[in-house]
Structure 1
Amino acid sequence: MSTTTTVPGRSHRLRRLVAVTAVGAIALTALVACGSGGSSAEKASPSAAVTADAAPVTVKDPWVKAADSEMTGVFGTLVNTTGGKVTVVSGTSTVSEKTELHEVADVDGKPTMRQKAGGFEIPAGASHELKPGADHIMLMGLTKPVKPGDEVTVTLTLDDGRTVKFTAVAKAFAGAKEDYNSGMTKG
């Protein structure tokens, strides 16, 4: 014969604990069941939902050259995270009236900065480096000085209309001796 000993006050707490645990288990089961429905695209590819929401382009090590006025450049590495070609066609920033995609091209034996015709094309899974003296994002008509340590937000627009936002930290840079105030030509 089995006997049950009841400690006063404990049986009520025990029943309440069992009830709360049962409700929690039912709720968890419902969440798991709802989450496993998914769309047919998600069922076909388990990573489809993540890929659809992932940024098509990321920017590795972004930085902007500190400048007091006029113009400056943004640099870093654009990384295509998709399985297809991506083209960056334009941009905006929080510190300039105008933002252009630029290249430095050899014109009559002289390096010339100009707008990049067609934008920056990045093959599937590849990257495109932006650096002084080469391709870069040009911030024109600075609305305020960009001091070392400042953060500048840049938004890029892709050829399919999607946008990519990133923050570049300003730093003092004297290398490459690029001139952002004169000699620019439209390409």
Structure 2
Amino acid sequence: MTVRRRDAGRPRGAPVVDAVLAAVRAELAERGAEGLSVERVAARAEVNKTSVYRRWPTREALVVAAMEGLLDDLSTDPDHGDVRSDLLALVTPIAELAARPDGAALLRAAVAQGPGEVARLATRRLEAGVRPIPGLAARAAARGQWRPGVDPGQVVLVLVGAIMHRVLLEGADPTGAWLEGVVDLTVTGLLPRPGDD
């Protein structure tokens, strides 16, 4: 019996794109960016290799496209009235993505490929995910929960950097009690101290 390929005849478009990007994420999770093969992606997605190259002329373009879908839903603007709860709500989606095999694989790809479109996309999307941090910091400062002079950008680097270290270097889960502990340490560092204005 002959298997009908997803790109045989009409309609084309979304089903092919979805199949290919799912195949890219699976390949990245199994083999990493250095082992990504367009031939295997096409076979896994049951499409012709030319269908892949027509839409994504390079392996980097494939990785970027696969990453875009995963990073779309990171943005949140928590306001629970407590800086710890707000920070935890802000970074939990990032940690949950990084804990997934495909999310971790895409982070590894961004690091492994160095400066380039993959890394720029990851940076832009992570920045979008933590864009509410200045507002969060201002609300916390008004409640007396954010020490003057503490840079919100540095707080983001501490939290996101810790998540990436946990996943990429330790190969461990960055969610749950571990993430709460990192947020607790961060909150300890940004709370006002005696004598602060």
Give TM-score, length-normalised by structure 1.
Answer: 0.30
Name the larger-Rg structure: 1
Give TM-score, length-normalised by structure 2.
Answer: 0.29
Q: Considering fraction of residues, name the structure with more strand.
A: 1
Q: Considering fraction of residues, name the structure with more helix.
A: 2
